[in-house]
Amino acid sequence: MKDTAKKPSLATMQERDMSKEATHQKAVRILVKVFLYAFLLLMAFIVLFPFYWMINSSLKTLDEYRLSVPTFWPHQVQFSNYAEAFTAANLGRLFINTVIVGVISTILSLIITVLSAFAFARMEFKGKNVLFAALLATMMIPGELFTITNYGTVTQLGWINTYTVLIVPFLVSVFYIYLLRQNFLQIPNELYLAAKVDGTSDIKYLWRVMIPLAMPTLISITILKMMGAWNSYIWPRLVANDEAHRLITNGLRNAFTETTGDVNYPVQMAAVALVSLPLFLVFVFLRKYIMKGVSRSGIKG
């Protein structure tokens, strides 16, 4: 008998091929997402594990910390390590010194950065482009090369072991000026010309128009400047190493390395955790402003 079964039509075959192709593409997309999320989870684990180990170590006893086989959670939680760390490292004084230096240097640096960026972005004066190019060229010079000359200068001025020596030498940041200038340039110049026609002064226009539009970038600069002051180590240790002017970083080093006998590492880890907490909170609550400062232009809307 002849096979009376009909062969599938061309349209049916095309539909099957399209269905197979769609299924294949869907499987590929799912596989790519699986690998992507697996990679992100791996990277997150690598980044977060040191912080977990810091907290884990800060809650152990010294004997448990010295075990040959490390434990991934303390057998006996020692919250007293944090109280001991706060007292042993005199963290209260270190926090006050660091906040004083950080806040004052950040405010003064913002004033200088805003005025300089406005001048380079909107004002016209002879040699503006040459001066700005010279400033950008200084970014190619490593900051360590200025350490010796800066130290000689502040020594002659009698600023050693003062708050002034921790604040003044680093008030100007060419990178911040460049970042804010580029943001100001994205604000339409017609706004500036219209304000000048209405008789608005440059300072009033800067305060009322440009600063509000560039607020995400200014917040990012503020956060970065505070973090720089909080984490600075070499310069404070070189010029202000007395107990009255020590900052967080070199103060912790002095508290746990200049003593005789064994170092209580869990207490040291507790001190590091306390010092890291403010920066962690800053990032958690202000991260959206950091993202806006990087991604957004100076125009709202």
C-alpha separations of 143 from 140, 146, 240 in Å? 9, 6, 18
Joined tokens for residue 274: 């306390």
What's the CA gap between 131 and 118, in Å, rounded? Answer: 14
Residues 6+ away with beta carbon under 8 Å from 152: none
Residue 173 per-residue DSSP state: -
pLDDT at 37: 94
Q: Which residues of the chain have pLDDT under 50?
A: 1, 259-260, 297-301
Q: Could you tell me the residue ranges of all domains in the chain?
A: 15-47, 90-295
pLDDT at 8: 60
Contact between 58 and 82 (Cβ < 8 Å): yes
pLDDT at 46: 94
pLDDT at 115: 93
- Which spans in 122-173 are helix H? 128-138, 147-157, 163-167
Joined tokens for residue 175: 């990178």
pLDDT at 143: 78
pLDDT at 298: 42
pLDDT at 292: 66
Contact between 226 and 106 (Cβ < 8 Å): yes
CATH of 90-295, one of 3.90.1170.30, 3.40.50.300, 1.10.3720.10, 2.60.40.1220: 1.10.3720.10
pLDDT at 299: 42
pLDDT at 7: 57
What's the CA gap between 251 and 240, in Å, rounded? Answer: 11
